[in-house]
Chains A and B, each alone.
Chain A
Amino acid sequence: MKRRSKAILPLVILISLLLTSLVSGAASPAARAAGTTYYVDSSLGNDSSAGTSEGTAWKTLAKVNAMTFSPGDRILLKAGSVWSDQYLDLKGSGAEGSPIVVDQYGSGSKPLIHFGNTSVNGEGFGVRLRNVSYWEINNLEITSGQQPTDMRRHGVLVVGEGTGAGSFMHIHIKNLSIHDIFGTDRRTGGINFHARGTNTALESTWDGILIENNTIINVADTGIQTMTDAFSNSAWTHKSDAFKNVVIRGNYVEKIHRDGILVRAGVSPLIEYNTTNAIGNACDVNTGVVSYLDHIAVVAAQWAYYTTGAVFQYNEAFDTRKLEGDGQPWDFDVQVKESVYQYNYSHNNQGGTLLVMNDTDENIFRYNISQNDLDANGAFHLTSGGGDLYIYNNIIYRSGTQNRALTHASNTGMAYYKNNIFYNGASGQYTNSPRMAYDHNSFYGLNSSVANDPYKIVGDPKFVNPNTATGRATADGYKLLPTSPLIDAGVTVAANGGKDFFGNPLYNGAPDIGAYEYQGTIPQPVTIFSDDFEDNDFSDWTVSGGSWNLTTDGSLTLSQNTASGEAIAYTGNASWNDYTYSARIKLLTASGNVGLLFRYVDNSNYYTLRLNDSGDKLELYKKSGGTMTLVSSTGYAVTPGQWAAMKVSVSGNVIIGYVDGVQLLQWTDASPLPAGKIGIRMHTSAARMDDVKVVQ
Chain B
Amino acid sequence: MIQINRKKTYLFFAGVIPVLLILVLLGVRWFGQPPASVSDGFPVQTQVPQDGDAVVATVNGAPVTKKEFKTRLPEQRAGIMTYFQQTYGCDPGGTDFWSTPCGGEAPVARLKATTLRLLVEDRVRELAADRAGISVAIGYDAFLKEWEAENRIRANQLAAGQVIYGPREYSEPAYYRYVVSNTILGLKQWLLEHDGPPTEEQLRQAYADSISGKSDPPAFETVRDALIQQWSEERYESWFKSQLEQAEVEVNQQVYEGIIL
Q: Which residues of A contact B (CB under 8 A)?
A: 1-3, 5, 41-44, 78-86, 108-109, 112, 114, 116, 141, 143, 145-146, 148, 177, 179-180, 213, 215, 217, 250-252, 254, 273-275, 277-278, 289, 314-316, 318-319, 321-325, 327, 343-345, 348, 350, 374, 376, 400-401, 470-475, 499, 501-503
Contact = CB atoms under 8 A, between A and B. Distances in A.
Contacts of B170: 252
Q: Which of B40, B163, B222 has the most CB of A within 10 A?
A: B163
B162 A43 contact: no
A376 B82 contact: no
Given A112-B78, A503-B161, A316 B166 contact: yes
Given A1-B39, A80-B42, A401-B197, A322 B226 contact: yes
Closest 10 CB pairs of A and B: A145-B82, A80-B40, A2-B37, A84-B93, A275-B166, A84-B92, A252-B174, A345-B165, A316-B166, A503-B162
A1 B150 CA distance: 38
A254 B223 CA distance: 23
B41 A81 contact: yes
26 contacts: A1-B39, A80-B41, A83-B93, A85-B85, A86-B93, A108-B40, A109-B77, A114-B78, A141-B78, A145-B79, A145-B81, A145-B85, A215-B177, A217-B177, A252-B171, A252-B174, A273-B164, A274-B166, A275-B166, A275-B178, A315-B165, A321-B226, A374-B225, A400-B189, A502-B162, A503-B163
A180 B135 CA distance: 30
B225 A376 contact: yes
Contacts of A323: 223, 226
Given A250-B167, A277-B177, A79 B81 contact: no
A114 B157 CA distance: 38
B136 to A, nearest CB: 9
Interface stretch (B4-12, B13-21, B179-187, B249-257): B179-187
B1 interface: no
Q: Which of A82, A143, A180 has the most CB of B within 10 A?
A: A82
A190 B41 CA distance: 26
Contacts of B162: 474, 502-503
Contacts of B225: 322, 327, 350, 374, 376
B168 interface: yes
B173 to A, nearest CB: 6
Contact of B34 (A2, A315, A499): A2
A318 B186 CA distance: 12
Nearest to B98: A82
B91 interface: yes
B131 to A, nearest CB: 18
B38 interface: yes
A116 B85 contact: yes
A254 B181 contact: yes
B177 A254 contact: yes
B163 A502 contact: yes
B44 interface: yes
B259 to A, nearest CB: 15
A180 B157 CA distance: 34
B199 interface: no
A44 B42 CA distance: 11
Contact of A43 (B38, B74, B169, B222): B38
Q: Which of B78, B81, B177, B185 has the most CB of A within 10 A?
A: B78
